[in-house]
Amino acid sequence: MSRRDLVLLTDHSSTEGTREAMAVAARRLTGREPVQLDARHFMTGSAACTGRIEAVGDGTVRLEAEGRVVTTDAVVVYEIPPHWRPAFAHCQRLLRASGVRSLGTDVEAWRTATEKDRTVERFTRDGVPHMPTITLSRPTPEAAAEAFARLGGDVWARPCVGMGGNDVFHVTDHAQLAAAARHYADLGQDWLIARDARNFTADGRRHQYRVVVLDGRAVRAVEHVQPDPDAPCNECQGASSTTLEIDELPPGIAELAILATKSLGLPLAGVDLAAESGGVVFEVNVHPAFGRTLGVDQIAAPYVAAHLHS
Ligand SMILES: Nc1ncnc2c1ncn2[C@@H]1O[C@H](COP(=O)(O)OP(=O)(O)OP(=O)(O)O)[C@@H](O)[C@H]1O
Ligand SMILES: [Mg+2]
């Protein structure tokens, strides 16, 4: 294969669908089929870790997996689920050391975004507005109750590493707090509690924004509205979603998303944030999911293009 083959490295067990959008963008931009490799072959500690990766000089790498061998100067990395990122770090380091074109090789930036306790620490350092948050690690009931009281008794609990709004709870009394504590202890997970952002519409529904930032610019904006005030305002948890023009966002929201992305050092990110409480960031997603229609034009095509020689 020629060194101009573009490699698309994603977790093929993921069902999010962004891999296909990236492939569409790659075909459109290069006129060729990208070489799609399963990132699980390059994850240390996984049974499927049979891939090989080797720098061959001059900004190129040789990747070998499932009997396929490709030498390339551009590797698009996407759709690596949060829990698998530590196992993928070794591959990222090899890619970075090889000098291959890739926007997915910054282990530290991924870790800071993926581990939400680290995200909050970074935001505090850089002055990125967020709700007051306390990290808990198998707390005693007294320690959990004390943190809960300190934040005002109306908080959201979430695991330090998670996705899809799973294992996220609105906690407003001590029974819910104890249930959340048991839940995270059973999962063996550290967790965070943060003061409720009061992100309500005039008619009492939750709402928030997802802004995707690429290369310091907001490229996509979506508003989520959740009728259940106790459920995460997240499409997977039943929120509706409306695509907005960037200039339809409330004042300062695009700038806040850009600030959060820059603070974490990510080239691309999907930032979840609310305009209430002065404008606050909930979290930053390393590989935001997006739809095929607008998502290819807004995200996948410019992301893939950034990997190609101009
Ligand atoms: N302090 C808060 N106030 C109000 N809502 C909150 C707060 N913290 C979290 N939430 C809600 O819980 C949701 C899930 O939290 P978070 O985004 O950290 O989890 P996730 O599992 O990574 O979700 P995603 O699928 O969006 O990446 C937030 O998007 C928001 O709707
Ligand atoms: Mg997330």
Structural domains in the chain, sorted by start: 7-105 (3.40.50.20), 132-195 (3.30.1490.20), 199-289 (3.30.470.20)
What distances in angstroms separate CA 62 from CA 39, 46, 56, 152, one per listed residue? 14, 21, 7, 55
Pull the structure tokens for residue 277: 């409480």
Mutating to test ligand 1, I would choose from 168, 225, 284 the residue with most ligand atoms within 8 A of its C-beta, which is 168
Tell the burial category of 265 from Cβ atoms under 10 Å away from its Cβ (0-12, 13-18, 19+). middle
Q: Is the CB of 158 under 6 A from ligand 1?
A: yes
* pLDDT tens, position by position, 83-133: 999 999 999 999 999 999 999 999 999 999 999 999 999 999 999 999 999
Question: What tens-digit pLDDT sequence spans the chain (310 residues)?
Answer: 444 699 999 999 999 999 999 999 999 999 999 999 999 999 998 777 889 999 999 999 999 999 999 999 999 999 999 999 999 999 999 999 999 999 999 999 999 999 999 999 999 999 999 999 999 999 999 999 999 999 999 999 999 999 999 999 999 999 999 999 999 999 999 999 999 999 999 999 999 999 999 999 999 999 999 999 999 999 989 999 999 999 999 999 999 999 999 999 999 999 999 999 999 999 999 999 998 779 999 999 999 999 997 6
- What is the CA(172)–ligand 1 centre distance, in A? 16
- Is residue 279 a contact partner of residue 271, using CB atoms and an 8 Å limit? no
Beta-sheet strands, E only, within 154-302 = 155-159, 169-171, 191-195, 206-214, 217-226, 240-244, 268-274, 280-285
pTM listed for this prediction = 0.96
Decide: 123 and 95 in contact? Cβ < 8 Å: no
Is the distance from the beta carbon of residue 208 to the nearest atom of ligand 1 less than 6 Å? Answer: yes
CA of 163 to the centre of ligand 2 (A): 4
pLDDT at 3: 44
